Amino acid sequence: MWKRDEAVKPTPAASGPTPAPAPAVGQPPAAAAELRTSNYATEPPRGIERSAVNIGKSVVIKGELNGSEDLTIEGQVEGKIELRQNVLTIGPNGRIKAQVFAKSVVVLGEVTGNVTASEKVDIRDNGSVDGDIAAPRVAIAEGAHFRGSIDMQKAGGKAAEPKAAEPKPAEAKPAAAQPAAVTAAR
């Protein structure tokens, strides 16, 4: 039961998240919902756990990085990154020299190394990837940089190309086809 004395008491700032203001009487439900979610960028609504971590511009990590939360990297990481069930975002200032394994990878900065994602790799406008990508979905924006190969696997983990499409060992490839394959991989 609500008591007037409890509503009047000020809460200390360090005690936790600030409650959303109560909607005014007669206010439409949409406006009330907007008030409740207006601070979502800084703190999640009650009952929703925020599971995102940021690595700042001045942070340098050398070694293996594992986790079970979404991660945004603005600093430098060298080694190996494993977030197999989460989203990895390489911010515009992020510089990665590592093998990357994640559910989804968004690249706004620079990645040097192979990237493996179970769902999607998205290289945005000024993003850069030098390495091979293995993911069922790959998006490369205009203005992005990519050098390597792409293996777009099916959901079952098998290669997208059927085995029948591979040349048989007895067949000889024409000499002109080899330079074209090298040019396409660049």
How far apart CA 48 and CA 165 sit, in angstroms, is 48
Most confident of 46-50, 119-123, 177-181: 119-123
* pLDDT at residue 90 is higher than 50: yes
pLDDT > 90 fraction of the chain, expressed in percent and rounded: 53
What pLDDT does residue 162 have?
A: 38
Give the three-class secondary structure for 37. helix
CB atoms within 10 A of CB 108: 22
What pLDDT does residue 39 have?
A: 38
In sequence order, what are the beta bridge partners of 88? 71, 105
Pick left, alpha or beta for residue 113 (phi over 0 → left; psi -120 to 50 → alpha; otherwise beta). left
Residues 6+ apart with CB under 8 A from 51: 68, 69, 70, 86
The mean per-residue pLDDT over the stretch 79-108 comes to: 97
Domains of the chain: which residue ranges?
Answer: 52-150
- Reported as a single tens digit per residue, the pLDDT across 115-162 is 999 999 999 999 999 999 999 999 999 999 999 999 997 755 444 443
- pLDDT confidence bin for 25, thresholds 50/70/90: low
The mean per-residue pLDDT over the stretch 168-175 comes to: 46
The answer to whether residues 63 and 79 touch, using CB atoms and an 8 Å cutoff, is yes
Name residue 142's amino acid.
E
**Mean of pLDDT over the chain:** 74
Is 0.75 topped by the overall pTM? no
* pLDDT at residue 63 is higher than 50: yes
The answer to whether residues 145 and 129 touch, using CB atoms and an 8 Å cutoff, is yes
Angle at the Cα of 55 (from 134 to 57), degrees rounded to 5?
A: 105
How far apart CA 48 and CA 14 sit, in angstroms, is 20
* pLDDT at residue 170 is higher than 90: no
What pLDDT does residue 53 have?
A: 86
